[in-house]
Chain A
Amino acid sequence: MTKPAASAPSLSVAASLSKPQSATLEELEEEEQEDKFDINISITNPEKIGDGMNAYMAYKVSTQTTLPMFRSKAFTVRRRFSDFLGLYEKLSEKHGPNGYIVPPPPEKSILGMTKVKVGKEDPSSAEFVERRRAALERYLQRVVCHPSLLQDPDVREFLERDELPRAVNTQALSGAGFLKMINKATDAVSKMTIKMNESDVWFEEKLQEVESADQQFRKIHGLVDSLVGHRKELSLNTAGFAKSVAMLGSSEDNTALSRALSQLAEVEDKMEQLHQEQASNDSFCFAELLADYIRLLGAVRGSFDQRMKAWQRWQDAQSMLQKKRETEAKLLWANKPDKLQLAKDEITEWEAKVTQYERDFDRVSATVRKEVLRFEVLIYFFFKTLVAFTLLIKYWEAFLPEAKAIA
């Protein structure tokens, strides 16, 4: 009656990007937005609307797609930052409770936006707007890369509808906040109650694996918190140093050295921003990676349930078959030939069912719902770090002639 435990199923992983050749920075950026689901988002033309503290930036959101669910192949709308936050709130409300982790938008920045509002026409404002534009673009691209989110009518509305109702009181989730959310999801998954057959060896093994992995994740979570904290500290200390060097430069009586020192202060200022972004990159990417891993583990746990159900159905079918055989035996004994044929038919039917359900059980044990582990997240993380270093090179190469000009 009992079947020996099926061989342990393996988690399958599919990489979703597969371009093998090396790329320049521009090529890499393009590939980042490559359509895996035949949809491409670009965000352009940031434009300041209004004046003073009520001013805001409006961005052009252009979609190119071959998917039939959209109204046309190419369309454009204008959106502001709070619209993106509003979209995120709607999506996380809907999908979050299902244990689905929704990618968050870029962070709010009071300082950055104030500069823009107040109309400071300096290069740091322009840089801030450009960075935000790029981050929003990445954000939307990730949303449409999730097959479930793409189906969500709110997403479609965001991309297509001409006028969106104003989203108010929007909260932006920071990288650190996202990590916290991951932790909660981890807890939810581990608390999933599972009815199990105590003598099931397969189940024991799987549960053990999953629980040990959970532990390591918590450790990594703690470590990433520490890393992000230290990076933020570094960013703060770099800003402090930059200010101090600027003061030193203004005190310096040698003209060329004075200029070089104020240039150094500016480079360090830019480094501060790089560190901030790297902190946000670190926490965001780790959160994404952990989220992927948790989904995988969630799938394993989900399969426990399925397997149990398949097992139960098979057992029930076997009981039923047994009953039918007993009935047949009774009828033979009682010599009721017409009822006997019916009984024989039923036995055949249940024998088929038992075979079917046994096969189902084997199949369920052998496979787990395939979750995609997105290598793209890892690539994204490496890529952002690479971009940071490329900028770094640019800044220091601009500084070098100033240093050489000291006399």
Chain B
Amino acid sequence: MTSALDESDKEKTRSVSVDLNNDASLLIDIPDALCERDKVKFTVHTKTTLSAFQKPEFSVPRQHEDFIWLHDTLVETEDYAGLIIPPAPPKPDFESPREKMHKLGEGEATMTKEEYNKMKQELEAEYLAVFKKTVQVHEIFLQRLSSHAILSKDRNFQIFLEYDQDLSVRRKNAKEMFGGFFKNMVKTADEVIISGIKEVDDFFEQEKTFLLDYYSKIKDSTAKAEKMTRSHKNVADDYIHISATLNTLSADDSTALKKHLDKLSDLFEKLRKVEGRVASDQELKLTELLRYYMRDIQAAKDLLYRRARALADYEHSNKALDKARLKSKDVPQAEEHQQQCLQKFDKLSESGKRELTSFKGRRVVAFRKNLIEMAELEIKHAKNNVTLLQGCIDLLKSN
């Protein structure tokens, strides 16, 4: 299925990060995407005034793996070691709705046609929601890059946006070259290395403590939010079944109770639409926000890690220099190596401080926006429900 996202949809969904895509010199968006079985094909659309590009406006098709390739090459680039690399978008995951669809197919015989159709509708909506989310998250990744002073100029980024052939050849080459070395190292060792270093800078000492603690807390909150949202969906599904059974009862009933049952069935139908909407709003605003910043904080931790390694390297180079001086052997090389390490470390520290400070601001702004929007949506839905229920009560009382 194709899905063209209209402007209002995009406004709603583009909320986990703010102040992106404002610079007219490079505007990127994903106006549509195609879902074929497991694979999602994104259309990446660029509008630019920069001379680095061959055309002022162009579109290319890209797969999820292309985004990962781009992310990984950025991570592996030495020059960017002092930057927070925007987290890679997660793989499109249609597992949940697909499994539910399968179960629904198996249980088709046990439910009425109406019930089956309603469940199917629900699942299709779920598919669509997953689809929209994955588009959003891929789009934000690109927009983070385009709004970053240094990363937006990256050559591979430009290739990604512009190259009108398949990127899969490049992807294979990249894998062979780097072998994901840096990535793997980060995954296994970061917490230990980061907490282990003797910090000289107060700023980084505080950041380290904060980020390590915050990460574990936000990871937990994300998991709990996901659980909560799933429960909400289950309740909404139950309402569908109850509404359908009441309908059957009402159809078979030849007494004056028929009207009564009809009303009840109707109410449950309305209630489940509401429960479903609350669940999906919560998912979009709260859960997505937490998920995104969990990944972003991991990216910040990666930066701390790289700086910690640079410090470790510097300390080693110092020791090596002392040794060289003692032995009076290879001193100039050792001195140069030490200088390089120091420079690298200083550069990382300076750049890191800048990045972490702006990250803080970005996070606070995004939380603010999402929390406000979520509260407003909850109020809106609740007010709708109050009107709905009041109407039902009035109707019953007038009988």
Contacts and interface: CB of A to CB of B under 8 A. Distances in A.
Physical interaction between A and B: yes
Interface of A: 10-13, 15, 17-22, 28, 209, 212-213, 216, 219-220, 223-224, 226-227, 230-231, 233-234, 237-238, 240-241, 244-245, 247-248, 251-254, 257, 260, 264, 289, 293, 296, 373, 375, 378-379, 382-383, 385-386, 389-390, 392-393, 396-397, 399-400, 403-404, 406-407
Interface stretch (B27-35, B49-57, B244-252): B244-252
B213 A375 contact: no
Given A373-B257, A378-B264, A234 B228 contact: yes
B235 interface: yes
B254 A209 contact: yes
Contacts of B220: 244, 247-248
B228 A237 contact: yes
Interface of B: 210, 213-214, 217-218, 220-221, 224-225, 227-228, 230-232, 234-235, 238-239, 241-242, 245-246, 248-249, 252-257, 260, 263-264, 267, 271, 360, 364, 367-368, 371-372, 375-376, 378-379, 382-383, 385-386, 389-390, 392-394, 396-399
Chain B interface main SS type: helix
Contacts of B255: 10-11, 13
Contact of A399 (B228, B375, B392): B375
Contacts of B392: 382
A248 B256 contact: no
Contacts of B234: 230, 233-234
A231 B235 CA distance: 6
Contacts of B256: 10-13
Contacts of B230: 237
Nearest to B271: A385
Contact of B386 (A15, A219, A393, A400): A393
A359 to B, nearest CB: 25
Contact of B231 (A10, A234, A404): A234
A18 B253 CA distance: 24
A19 B393 CA distance: 10
Given A375-B399, A378-B264, A403-B371, A397 B257 contact: no
Nearest to B220: A244
Given A237-B228, A396-B378, A13 B389 contact: no
A113 B396 CA distance: 37
A220 B265 CA distance: 12
A257 B303 CA distance: 24
A231 B378 CA distance: 18
Contacts of B238: 223, 226-227, 230
A394 to B, nearest CB: 9
B217 A248 contact: yes
Contacts of A227: 235, 238-239, 242
B249 A244 contact: no
B353 to A, nearest CB: 16
B379 A393 contact: yes
Contacts of A18: 397, 399
A245 B371 contact: no
A21 B372 CA distance: 36
Nearest to A405: B368
A264 B232 contact: no
Which of the listed residues B263, B383, B389, B392 has the most CB atoms from chain A within 10 Å of its own CB? B389
B302 to A, nearest CB: 19
B382 A393 contact: yes
Nearest to A399: B375
A223 B390 contact: no
Top 4 A-B residue pairs of the complex, sorted by shortest distance between their CB atoms = A234-B231, A406-B368, A403-B371, A227-B238
A379 B382 contact: no
B235 A216 contact: no
Contacts of A224: 242
A406 B371 contact: yes
Contact of A375 (B231, B260, B383, B386): B260
Contacts of B372: 400, 403-404
Given A248-B221, A251-B217, A223 B368 contact: no
A216 B225 contact: no
Given A17-B397, A247-B220, 12 more contacts: A10-B255, A11-B256, A216-B248, A220-B242, A227-B235, A233-B234, A234-B234, A254-B360, A296-B257, A392-B382, A396-B378, A406-B368
Contact of B235 (A17, A209, A230): A230
Contacts of A393: 379, 382-383, 386
Given A244-B221, A389-B386, A15 B263 contact: no
A248 B218 contact: yes
A293 B234 CA distance: 27
A53 B303 CA distance: 55
A234 B255 CA distance: 37
B84 to A, nearest CB: 17
Contact of A241 (B228, B246, B254): B228
A264 B371 contact: yes
Contacts of B249: 213, 216, 220
Contact of B368 (A13, A21, A257): A257
